[in-house]
Each structure stands twice: as C-alpha cells, then as structure tokens.
Amino acid sequence: MSEVQRKKYSEQEKNHVFDKEFMPHIDSMYNFAFRLTFDEDDAKDLVQDTYLKAYRFINSFEQGTNAKAWLFRILKNSFINDYRRKSKQPAKVDYQEVETYYNSDDVDYTSTTDLRVDAVKDMLGDEISNALNSLAVDFRTVIILADLEGFTYEEMAKILDIPIGTVRSRLHRARNLLKDQLRSYAKTMGYNTEDEEE
C-alpha cells in the first residue's frame, strides 16, 4: 500500500491488473459502498469514483499485493472526502468526534450482556442488517471490514489509517453497540433474557 511510485505499467499491463486484480472485488466494493451510503445511486457513484482513481493511480499499486485492501482504502477515503461532504444525511457521529471521544485504546471489557446465543442465532437477516445499519459509520465500518469482508486487524489499520490497538478497541465497542441493538430486538421478539434484573 505504499504510495511510492513504482515502475510504470505498460498499457497492456494496466489492463491486466485492472481486470484481474481490481474488477474481481467489485461485489465487495459495491456492498461496502451501499452499507456506507444506504443509497443505490450514491453507492454506484462511490464505486465508480473508486475504480477511476484506482486506474489513475495504478502505478502506485504493486502487482500481487493486497488489491482488495488497496481498493477499500481508496473507497473509504473517497467516502470521507467527497461523499460525506455533500451528503444530506446528517452523520450521527462524525469521524472526528469519534476520534476525540473514543480514541483511547482502553476498553471496558465487562460481561454485562444478557443476550442469549440462541436469540442471536434465530435473528432474521433483516434484523441483523438493521442493527448493523443503526451504528454510527465508524463502528459500522469496522464490523463490515472484519466480519463481512474478513480483513485482518493489520489490513484494517491500513485501510482506516489508524493504529492496530484502535482497530481492536473500536471493533470491540462496535460489537457491544451491536449487541445492545440485538438485545432490544430479542426483547421485542419475546425471548427471555437470561436475567431480568435490568
């Protein structure tokens, strides 16, 4: 993911890299874009911008390295820089705010949850998706990257330009927020929570 200008690709090599290393990720890219913007047209624009940038800066991509992480990083930066600015949707929590309030890597690891494994497993796809979509964009992003796309902490650190410790703690907080959502769904579904002392 180095920004160093490497040897230049020939026209033919460019097409090869683009088709064989970039295009196969379009499914994941579109889904990431959709989950960030919640809008088909915005997602299409974001993916298209990302691929155009990828093509324009193709010489800074080293063939055989992690193309998917490289593309995700471009998409996430485009989202922050271009899309978020013109978006009408008010951000629930801004990236900057999250950094200010939550940038400490100390996380409170406590077992307070009364959510049952069975209740989680019985959730519908819509409920899981809604719970994920309800999270502020920073928290949603780490869950998408880790759980839906299978990136490692190290890859996520590079995609998001944050230290690995911050990846770990943000992911932990994100999953706790997700559990809060799922717990409230579980309650409306009538599952008994494990202890009713709340």
Partner 1 sequence: MEENLPMGEKKLSCADVSKCFQLLESILDGENVPNSQAMLQEKLAKCEPCFKHFHLEQAIREVLKNKCTKHCVPNELIANIREKIQEIK
Residues making contact with partner 1 (CB under 8 A): 11, 18, 23, 26-27, 30-31, 34, 40, 43-44, 47-48, 51-52, 55-56, 107-111, 113, 115, 117, 120-121, 123-126, 128-129, 132, 143, 146-148, 150, 152-153, 168, 171-172, 175, 178-179, 182
- Which residue, 2 or 11, is less far from partner 1 as judged by CB? 11
> Long-range contacts of range 103-109, CB-CB < 8 Å, 24 or more positions apart?
103/166, 104/169, 105/163, 105/165, 105/166, 105/168, 105/169, 106/169, 107/168, 107/169, 107/172, 107/173, 109/172
- Helix, coil or strand: residue 135: coil
Q: Please identify, using beta-carbon distances, which residue of 97 and 113 lies nearer to partner 1.
A: 113
The helix, strand and coil proportions of the chain, stated in percent and rounded to the nearest 5, come to 70, 0, 30
Nearest distance, CB of residue 162 and partner 1, angstroms: 16
Minimum CB–partner distance for residue 96 and partner 1 (Å): 26
Nearer residue to partner 1 within complex by CB, 31 or 94 = 31
Query: Where do the DSSP E strands lie in the chain?
Result: none
DSSP state of 94: -
Residue 191 Cβ, how far from partner 1 at the closest point, in Å?
13
Alpha carbon distance 137, 171 (integer Å): 12
Min CB(131)–partner 1 separation in Å: 9
Nearer to partner 1 (CB atom), residue 1 or residue 124? 124
